[in-house]
Amino acid sequence: MELAVYSALKTYSNVHRGTGHNSMVTTELFERARKIILKYLRLNEKKYVVVFCSPRRYKIFKVQLKSFNYFVVSSKDFDLPFGIRALAVKKKYLKKRSVVYTGGGMIKHVTANYIVWADIPERFEAGTPNIVNIIALAKAIQLVNQFGKIFNKKLRYLVKTSKEILYNDEMLEYSGLKLLHKLRKSLIGHDVRVPTEKTIKKFINLDNAASTPSFLPIWNTYRTTLMQPNEVHKEIIEEVKHICAKFFNAPSDKYEVIFTSNTTEAVNIVAKNLTIHKDGLRPVVINTLLEHHSNELPFRSIPGVSLIRVSVSDEGFINLDELKMLLNDYNHTHKYGNKRVQLVAVSGVSNVLGTINDLKSISQITHQYGASLLIDAAQLVAHHKTDLLGTNIDYLVFSGHKVYAPFGSGALIVRRGELTFDTYELNNIKSSGEENVIGIATLGKSLLLLRRIGFDVIEEYERKLTELILDGLSKMEDVEVFGVKKLSSGDLDKRSSIISFSMKKVPHNLAAKEIAEYGGIGVRSGCFCAHMLIQQILKVQKIRAVGARMTSIIIPAKTGMLLPGTIRVSIGIENSETEIMYFLQIVRQIISKPRSNVNKILARIYNGAATLPKTHAEERIKTYVKSVVQKIF
């Protein structure tokens, strides 16, 4: 099983999102896992579909289901500490069910007033699933069917302490920039070569904002943890809580660390915590137009909760004066009667524009008017120092798969006293996240490595690469960059390593396809689960938003292609100057090609192409994907 998981990690990326080779491979592996589980259950895939859940999501979801309409496979059935429930449900029955959690990856189109949900099963898989462990579970099922077991008993339970597992590694003598370079060389998948238009090239991942790859010390933590008994697993959970507390300056007497399956689940837990006060006050949540769907949609679905949005500039900065005015109107002058702002929920870093928001000012304003503050730190944790106590943050949410630990664990770090769940419900929440010991251990290891490198080193390293991209793109006449773009800007230090841009003559989805086919480079195009922000920065008229909605209903297969969007590159510590220079070379090659008038018009209005050309490179990539999947399954 380890060999299969390692192979999957070598070509890992997020599913159903990126345009690169790795995203295609991982998506195919993920979908193949559904089929393997249906085969194991001896169910007809024409009648049934598999939905992957965390233990908590499964408990909530099964209330809607009748026992004769679903079957469930648990990672616990195979003695695997993954925290997975694979729910096989009749398709015709599932279509009529309500979503359990809301967030990214489960919609086709969103505006401030409506949601067009994705098809099944994605509609019920909010946020990034536990992808790698789901692939591992499917492989385990195959091994059990073939050999009757997963583990070699002689290798199982070579017991180590939690501190040995988490703190020791082959790079212990290194720190700072030396450790960063050592980790880069240990990148799992650094030697992967992929087919392109003319030749075989080294794959380059520039889609770190969607999900991050992993490194050898983190993988070794995975392997060792898998072989430990329950007693050591319990120790690991507690030790990683201590690691999180130190990493985020969230002392245990003031904050509690609660493990979740991802950022999305963490936000949904906070949303469920909102209640109508006994004295009749009705809760209000302040959001912004900057937010990822995972930090916006959960608050729409809570009965009795009002959601209002603060405006942002086209560079992605929150309007602090407007935030202060709204808080004053609701919580001081009581302009809106019995409504009170209970929570301000904002992103630390925009997943579209890379904007780093002024969290200290936001926190000061929020607490001045008696509200609590939630920070979506999904794009923050791997790139910038985060200080909960110093910034006075009440809730912080993030995912391991954005911090080089793509094994299905995330966290909600919450100020003690903020959560109002009863003891039974709170224990259910905690036990659900803690079942994925593998995810927790690798998350802890990743945070330790980042701390040993130091965020002064990480920020400087990634800033140089970001400036290299901005400088290169700004010199191309047929490219438009969004957000803070000028190297001379006084706000450049408020920009993280995420860059969105468009090509003035090439539709965004065609451009992303060609970046993969010409260069072997993985990027992403579209709206990035932030539709409202994309509509603002691209100046999309309301009539087009209505048109996109109708398209998603009438021609659902074309929804993604007909939505306005951009191209996004996002940097991680595994990237290099050589890779950035090569990426810029490929962009120049793409914009120099002659284009049809139709494509020029579509690009001018930031639209995707309705159809993409079939190419020889595409066929080569399909063959490559098929061969990788066959080796694993």
Gap between the terminal Cα atoms of the chain: 10
CA distance readout (Å), 550 to 106, 176, 517, 607: 18, 52, 32, 15
Q: Specify the CATH architecture of the domain 2-147.
A: 3-Layer(aba) Sandwich (3.40)
Which pLDDT score, from 0 to 100, does residue 114 have? Answer: 87
Q: Is the pTM of this model over 0.75?
A: yes
The first and second tokens of residue 349, run together, are 């870093």
Which of 105, 112, 124, 115 has the alpha carbon at shortest distance from 62? 124
pLDDT lower than 50: segments of the chain: none
Torsion, CA 460, CA 462, CA 465, CA 468, rounded to 10: -60
Which of 128, 132, 83, 88 has the alpha carbon at shortest distance from 106? 128
Fold of 252-434: Aspartate Aminotransferase; domain 2 (3.40.640)
> What would the DSSP string read from start to end of 439-494?
HHHHHHHHHHHHHHH-HHHHHHHHHHHHHHHHHHHHT-TTEEE-SS--TT-TTGGG
252-434 and 455-632: identical CATH topology: no
Query: Would you call 338 exposed, middle or buried from its count of C-beta atoms within 10 A (0-12, 13-18, 19+)?
Result: exposed
Which pLDDT score, from 0 to 100, does residue 151 have? Answer: 67
> What is the gyration radius of the CA atoms in the chain, in angstroms?
23
> What is the number of other CB atoms lying within 10 angstroms of the CB of residue 96?
7
pLDDT of 221-242, one tens digit each? Answer: 999 999 999 999 999 999 999 9
> What is the number of other CB atoms lying within 10 angstroms of the CB of residue 178?
13
Task: Return d(Cα 550, Cα 627) in angstroms, integer.
Answer: 38
Task: Return d(Cα 318, Cα 34) in angstroms, integer.
Answer: 41
Cis? peptide before 121, omega within 30° of 0: yes
Q: Give bridge partners of residue 414 from the DSSP assignment.
A: 256, 395
For the domain spanning 455-632, the CATH number is 3.90.1150.10
Hey, what long-range contacts does 591-597 have (CB within 8 A, 24 or more apart)?
Answer: 591/476, 591/478, 591/479, 591/503, 591/504, 591/505, 591/506, 593/506, 595/505, 595/506
Which pLDDT score, from 0 to 100, does residue 545 have? Answer: 66
Q: Cβ distance 81 to 436 under 8 Å?
A: yes
Task: Return d(Cα 460, Cα 493) in angstroms, integer.
Answer: 10
* Three-state secondary structure call for residue 345: strand
Which of 296, 358, 331, 369 has the alpha carbon at shortest distance from 532? 296
The domain limits of the chain are 2-147, 252-434, 455-632
Q: Cβ distance 551 to 562 under 8 Å?
A: yes
Q: Would you give the DSSP letter of residue 126?
A: -
pLDDT of 492-536, one tens digit each? Answer: 999 999 999 999 999 999 999 999 999 999 999 999 999 999 999
Task: Return d(Cα 210, Cα 219) in angstroms, integer.
Answer: 20
Which pLDDT score, from 0 to 100, does residue 301 have? Answer: 86
